[in-house]
A and B are shown apart, each in its own frame.
Chain A
Amino acid sequence: MTFRYYPGCTLKTKARKLDETARRCAAALGAELVEPADWQCCGAVYPMAKDEIAPKLSAVRALADAKAQGQELVTLCAACHNVLKRTNLDMANDEHTRDAANRYLQLPEAYSGETTVLHYLELLRDRIGWDAIRAKVTHPLTGRKIGAYYGCLLLRPAREMQMDDAENPTIIEDFLRAIGAEPVVYAMRNECCGAYVTMEDRAAAKARVEAILQNAQACGCEELTTACPLCLYNLRENGGALKVTYFTELLAQALGLEAAE
């Protein structure tokens, strides 16, 4: 299985650990991730204005590249995934965006949303499968009570992201079970961590994170795991009550690629 892989800027700077472990795990699970040579920043925030074409162009370029290679496009950062997936839907369904972007980019072949965008979690669930992962686990995380922290971007808007039920998600819990950990369900797992607000109003972001951590602890979580670099940043910098790791780090531990701390 070979996939196009879009890491995004954060994974090259703050979230190197996420990128690194994800690549090693994919290789161990038999999925080859090929990073295009010339990807650009996705813009990080999906532009809500209908006529804003320019911020979507680099996403379209990555999508069209995957189409040209005939491969599915795997993303990892929750923000990149959100932008790429939604831009892809625009290219498929919104005539205005499609026309303007194609005219602007002058691609060898017009792009209209043909690429399948997969989040790394979807790659694990839908392409590799929990059972196949379970079979490869050498160091199961037995006894570790881990809470999945989804945040908001990964699953929403649910109608467009179509990864999981936004109010009752199970994908990370299923993942945790596959690697032998004990998932702990807590209500705040799909609430916002404060995201970019932390730059302007740190107290507001702190209040969000504290509510999340308090609920997670009350429900018996001993550590948290997340797929989003910004969530991890906020949970660590504005909280600190619980250990937070990327889900790919846990996977690497379970596959015996990295020792548990």
Chain B
Amino acid sequence: MQRIGVFVCHCGTNIAATVDVAQVAETLGKEPGVVLATDYPYMCSQSGQDMIENAIREQKLTGVVICSCSPRMHEATFRKTVARAGLNPYLLEIANVREQCSWVHKDREEATQKAIILGRAAIAKVTLNAPLVAGESPVVKRALVIGGGIAGIQTALDIADAGFEVDIVEKEATIGGKMAQLDKTFPTLDCAACILTPKMVDAAQHEKINILSYSEVEAVGGFVGSFRVKIRRKARYVDETKCTGCGLCTEKCPQKAVPNPFNLGLDTRRAIAIPFAQAVPKVAYIDPNYCTMLKTGKCGVCSKVCTVGAIDYKQQDTLEEREYGAIVAATGYRPISLEKYGEYAYGQSPDVVTSLELERLMNAAGPTGGTLLRPSDRTHPKTIVFVQCVGSRCEEDGRGKPYCSKICCMYTAKHAMLIREKYPDTEVYVFYIDVRTPGKNFDEFYRRAVEEYGVHYITGQVGKIVPENGKLLVQGSDLLAGMQPKIAADLVVLAAAIEPDPSARSLATLLTASMDTNDFFTEAHPKLRPVESPTAGVFLSGACQGPKDIPETVAQAGAAAAKVIGLLSRDHIVCNPCVATPNEQMCNGCSSCEKVCPYGAITYADKEFRMPDRTTALRRVAQVNPAVCQGCGACTVACPSGAMDLLGFSNKQIMAEVDAICR
């Protein structure tokens, strides 16, 4: 026989002002199986919890119903309370009579009736609750960080400093990412390399960090605590253990016409190269698309000049498999392609550049040695027009992105200010929709560009850029003046929208991590769990989760690291026992559940079954990995034979609730 206790909370006046709590307790007390029903001003307070504990002991309760706030708020609290009294914590049900009742209703009579109905449903469910015991699974004490930009580096450093091993997998030949290509950083204008490269060196020298550069994640198996990851180490045709990074090969290689990706193709380099002077690891690699030796078998100059014999033309890709307890996605962003923006003449004129290209044109290590020269004739541009929101905040026209790229207003102000500072004879115009500069010292920074540096900010967009006789005729609109200014510019800089790095899409599939419609990774909760993916054990760092600047990226990288450390510092993980469980007798092996499972928790196994005619048959049945299952319930509704049930939320329990509500 069930002995159920019902506890109705006033939540001060939050519930009691709209719901007659005494009447709720009295009515629910008459439900079958209920032996105790009472109300109390604050059930979550120490004395409220003591009351519940004592009642469980004294009344020998077999189930507890608490009518209070949302289970998201205090379910964990009350489960602990129940457990302290020796009752299985899953024999507790919460009826949400605050968010779903008192807060949304005005009529006291109706709200009270609704609270009673909600309580009745919870009683009906708790009657069918079974004690559940959370399982445990071991934790491999090593983390994998995918992406070696500032986000990945910071996450790795923070995890490693806590004493755990970290592998960074970076697809390029060096870590550093986009930040390594930047010139100065807002709002303090310190040089990007000066603050980034020491961190790159720290990562390289950290005894707990292992950098796998020029490598990509190829397969991910396992689950939180014990992921098995296959990593492809791409052939660099240079023995990483022998190369000293002297750079002699990169000077002697006869193939000189290779577009330099680090400078975004604004200059050239050799077929064998070290990406940039402060690269980590500082090891050369050969681009097989350009190397004469690899293409024709004739050359071998680099091999001849290498004093340590590091060149290996026969090197092949290798695959490594390693185990990790946690995975951090830090795949970053890239500017969108401007191919479709014909009206801005990008691609028609070399003097129309993106903001990232301008970073290289202003950088001391860039193709112009830090002197701002326009690409077409290497002269100093006297009139520069910046166009903001190129592809950001766009209607869905198939060219741009609906979101704000967030960083462009600040870096454009930075560019404008730096140019006016260094070349005061230059006129600088900025076309903008809105200037969005929230952030510490950000708006002050932008105002300085306008007020102290005399940058001409024009509200409006640019309609057309016409390259003509060495000039760029910019036709825009000035919405405040109601004019259509025409500016003959020498250089036009487009603030291209940013989008997730394309590698994120395939990685999300490997990780079974979800993405939004723009291919940014989704967080487990947009406000309360911003650095966790909904997939257990997968964490998010940096711009792969949404556009963000460096300070925000570093903060999020640290937050992701803290979550990883929290996970790795445990020997075992307690799993959520409310997981799907198949009834193997009813399962017909159709794979419907496997297809809908967003976490990859369901696999199939061939099992022997004793058939009614006493023969043994081999049947294909669903298996749920309880460590991976998140209890979303998608499989339970997808299953055509009703073989899948969610522990703690079985079909029977849900139906009992519905029946109680409709009674």
Residues of A within 8 A of B (CB): 159, 165, 167-168, 185, 187-188, 190-191, 211, 214-215, 218-219
The residue of chain B having its C-beta at the shortest distance from the C-beta of A188 within the complex is B466
Query: Could you tell me the distance in whole angstroms from the C-beta of A158 to the nearest C-beta in chain B?
Result: 8
- Could you tell me which residues of chain B, from 302 to 347, have a CB within 8 Å of some CB in chain A? 339-343, 345
Q: Which residues on B sit within 8 Å (CB–CB) of A214?
A: 468
| A168 close to B464 (CB less than 8 A) | no
Residues of B within 8 A of A (CB): 339-343, 345, 348, 397, 464-469
Interface centre among A167, A211, A215 (most CB of B within 10 A): A167
CB < 8 Å neighbour of A218 from B345, B397, B465, B469:
B469
Q: Which residues on B sit within 8 Å (CB–CB) of A218?
A: 468-469
* The 8 nearest A-B residue pairs measured at CB: A167-B342, A168-B342, A187-B466, A218-B468, A167-B343, A218-B469, A215-B468, A215-B466
Decide: A165 near B469, CB < 8 A? Known: A185-B348, A187-B348, A187-B464. Answer: no
Q: Which residues on A sit within 8 Å (CB–CB) of B341?
A: 167
Q: Which residues on B sit within 8 Å (CB–CB) of A187?
A: 345, 348, 464-468
The answer for the CA separation of A191 and B339 in the assembled complex, in Å, is 19
Q: Which residues on B sit within 8 Å (CB–CB) of A165?
A: 340, 342
The answer for the CA separation of A219 and B467 in the assembled complex, in Å, is 9
Query: Could you tell me the distance in whole angstroms from the C-beta of B461 to the nearest C-beta in chain A?
Result: 14
The answer for the CA separation of A219 and B468 in the assembled complex, in Å, is 7
Query: Could you tell me the distance in whole angstroms from the C-beta of B339 to the nearest C-beta in chain A?
Result: 8
Chain A at the B interface: mostly helix, strand, loop or mixed?
Answer: helix
The residue of chain A having its C-beta at the shortest distance from the C-beta of B468 within the complex is A218
The answer for the CA separation of A164 and B397 in the assembled complex, in Å, is 14
| B340 close to A167 (CB less than 8 A) | yes
Q: Which residues on B sit within 8 Å (CB–CB) of A188?
A: 464, 466
Q: Which residues on B sit within 8 Å (CB–CB) of A219?
A: 467-468
The answer for the CA separation of A214 and B469 in the assembled complex, in Å, is 10
The answer for the CA separation of A217 and B459 in the assembled complex, in Å, is 32
Ordered by A's residue number, 20 sampled pairs between the chains whose C-beta atoms are within 8 Å are A159-B397, A165-B340, A167-B340, A167-B341, A167-B343, A168-B339, A168-B342, A185-B348, A187-B345, A187-B348, A187-B464, A190-B342, A191-B464, A211-B466, A215-B466, A215-B468, A218-B468, A218-B469, A219-B467, A219-B468
Query: Could you tell me the distance in whole angstroms from the C-beta of A178 to the nearest C-beta in chain B?
Result: 21
The residue of chain B having its C-beta at the shortest distance from the C-beta of A159 within the complex is B397
The residue of chain A having its C-beta at the shortest distance from the C-beta of B465 within the complex is A187
Q: Which residues on A sit within 8 Å (CB–CB) of B397?
A: 159
Query: Could you tell me the distance in whole angstroms from the C-beta of B345 to the nearest C-beta in chain A?
Result: 6
The answer for the CA separation of A188 and B397 in the assembled complex, in Å, is 22
The answer for the CA separation of A188 and B348 in the assembled complex, in Å, is 12
The answer for the CA separation of A215 and B486 in the assembled complex, in Å, is 15
Decide: A168 near B340, CB < 8 A? Known: A159-B397, A185-B348, A187-B348. Answer: yes
The residue of chain A having its C-beta at the shortest distance from the C-beta of B349 within the complex is A187
The answer for the CA separation of A97 and B467 in the assembled complex, in Å, is 43
The residue of chain A having its C-beta at the shortest distance from the C-beta of B467 within the complex is A187
Q: Which residues on B sit within 8 Å (CB–CB) of A191?
A: 464
The residue of chain A having its C-beta at the shortest distance from the C-beta of B348 within the complex is A187
Query: Could you tell me the distance in whole angstroms from the C-beta of B105 to the nearest C-beta in chain A?
Result: 40
Query: Could you tell me the distance in whole angstroms from the C-beta of A218 to the nearest C-beta in chain B?
Result: 5
Query: Could you tell me the distance in whole angstroms from the C-beta of B496 to the nearest C-beta in chain A?
Result: 15
Q: Which residues on B sit within 8 Å (CB–CB) of A190?
A: 342
9 new A-B contacts at CB < 8 Å, known A159-B397, A167-B340:
A165-B340, A168-B340, A187-B345, A187-B348, A187-B464, A187-B465, A191-B464, A215-B466, A219-B467
The residue of chain B having its C-beta at the shortest distance from the C-beta of A168 within the complex is B342
The answer for the CA separation of A218 and B468 in the assembled complex, in Å, is 6
Query: Could you tell me the distance in whole angstroms from the C-beta of A191 to the nearest C-beta in chain B?
Result: 7
The answer for the CA separation of A168 and B340 in the assembled complex, in Å, is 7
The answer for the CA separation of A127 and B340 in the assembled complex, in Å, is 26
Q: Which residues on B sit within 8 Å (CB–CB) of A168?
A: 339-340, 342
Interface centre among B343, B345, B464, B466 (most CB of A within 10 A): B466
Q: Which residues on A sit within 8 Å (CB–CB) of B467?
A: 187, 219
Query: Could you tell me the distance in whole angstroms from the C-beta of A183 to the nearest C-beta in chain B?
Result: 14
Query: Could you tell me the distance in whole angstroms from the C-beta of B136 to the nearest C-beta in chain A?
Result: 56
Interface centre among B339, B341, B467 (most CB of A within 10 A): B467
The answer for the CA separation of A19 and B68 in the assembled complex, in Å, is 80
The answer for the CA separation of A165 and B343 in the assembled complex, in Å, is 11
Q: Which residues on A sit within 8 Å (CB–CB) of B466?
A: 187-188, 211, 215
Q: Which residues on A sit within 8 Å (CB–CB) of B345?
A: 187
Query: Could you tell me the distance in whole angstroms from the C-beta of A215 to the nearest C-beta in chain B?
Result: 5
The residue of chain B having its C-beta at the shortest distance from the C-beta of A212 within the complex is B466
The residue of chain B having its C-beta at the shortest distance from the C-beta of A191 within the complex is B464
Query: Could you tell me the distance in whole angstroms from the C-beta of A5 to the nearest C-beta in chain B?
Result: 31
Q: Which residues on B sit within 8 Å (CB–CB) of A185?
A: 348
The answer for the CA separation of A218 and B472 in the assembled complex, in Å, is 12
Query: Could you tell me the distance in whole angstroms from the C-beta of B343 to the nearest C-beta in chain A?
Result: 5
Q: Which residues on A sit within 8 Å (CB–CB) of B342?
A: 165, 167-168, 190
The residue of chain A having its C-beta at the shortest distance from the C-beta of B470 within the complex is A218
Query: Could you tell me the distance in whole angstroms from the C-beta of B641 to the nearest C-beta in chain A?
Result: 43
Q: Which residues on A sit within 8 Å (CB–CB) of B339?
A: 168
The residue of chain A having its C-beta at the shortest distance from the C-beta of B341 within the complex is A167
The answer for the CA separation of A92 and B453 in the assembled complex, in Å, is 56
The residue of chain A having its C-beta at the shortest distance from the C-beta of B472 within the complex is A187
Query: Could you tell me the distance in whole angstroms from the C-beta of B349 to the nearest C-beta in chain A?
Result: 9
Q: Which residues on A sit within 8 Å (CB–CB) of B343?
A: 167
The residue of chain B having its C-beta at the shortest distance from the C-beta of A219 within the complex is B468
Q: Which residues on B sit within 8 Å (CB–CB) of A167?
A: 340-343
The residue of chain A having its C-beta at the shortest distance from the C-beta of B466 within the complex is A187
The residue of chain A having its C-beta at the shortest distance from the C-beta of B471 within the complex is A218
Query: Could you tell me the distance in whole angstroms from the C-beta of B122 to the nearest C-beta in chain A?
Result: 49
Query: Could you tell me the distance in whole angstroms from the C-beta of A59 to the nearest C-beta in chain B?
Result: 26
The answer for the CA separation of A165 and B399 in the assembled complex, in Å, is 11
Query: Could you tell me the distance in whole angstroms from the C-beta of B545 to the nearest C-beta in chain A?
Result: 32
Query: Could you tell me the distance in whole angstroms from the C-beta of A256 to the nearest C-beta in chain B?
Result: 34
Q: Which residues on A sit within 8 Å (CB–CB) of B468?
A: 187, 214-215, 218-219
The residue of chain B having its C-beta at the shortest distance from the C-beta of A187 within the complex is B466
The answer for the CA separation of A52 and B382 in the assembled complex, in Å, is 51
The answer for the CA separation of A185 and B468 in the assembled complex, in Å, is 12
Query: Could you tell me the distance in whole angstroms from the C-beta of B483 to the nearest C-beta in chain A?
Result: 15
Q: Which residues on B sit within 8 Å (CB–CB) of A211?
A: 466
Q: Which residues on A sit within 8 Å (CB–CB) of B469?
A: 218
The answer for the CA separation of A165 and B339 in the assembled complex, in Å, is 11
Q: Which residues on A sit within 8 Å (CB–CB) of B464?
A: 187-188, 191
The answer for the CA separation of A188 and B464 in the assembled complex, in Å, is 9
Query: Could you tell me the distance in whole angstroms from the C-beta of A111 to the nearest C-beta in chain B?
Result: 30
The answer for the CA separation of A187 and B473 in the assembled complex, in Å, is 10
Q: Which residues on B sit within 8 Å (CB–CB) of A215?
A: 466, 468
The residue of chain A having its C-beta at the shortest distance from the C-beta of B339 within the complex is A168
The residue of chain B having its C-beta at the shortest distance from the C-beta of A166 within the complex is B342
The answer for the CA separation of A185 and B343 in the assembled complex, in Å, is 13
The answer for the CA separation of A214 and B466 in the assembled complex, in Å, is 11
Query: Could you tell me the distance in whole angstroms from the C-beta of B199 to the nearest C-beta in chain A?
Result: 41
The answer for the CA separation of A214 and B339 in the assembled complex, in Å, is 25
The answer for the CA separation of A190 and B348 in the assembled complex, in Å, is 14
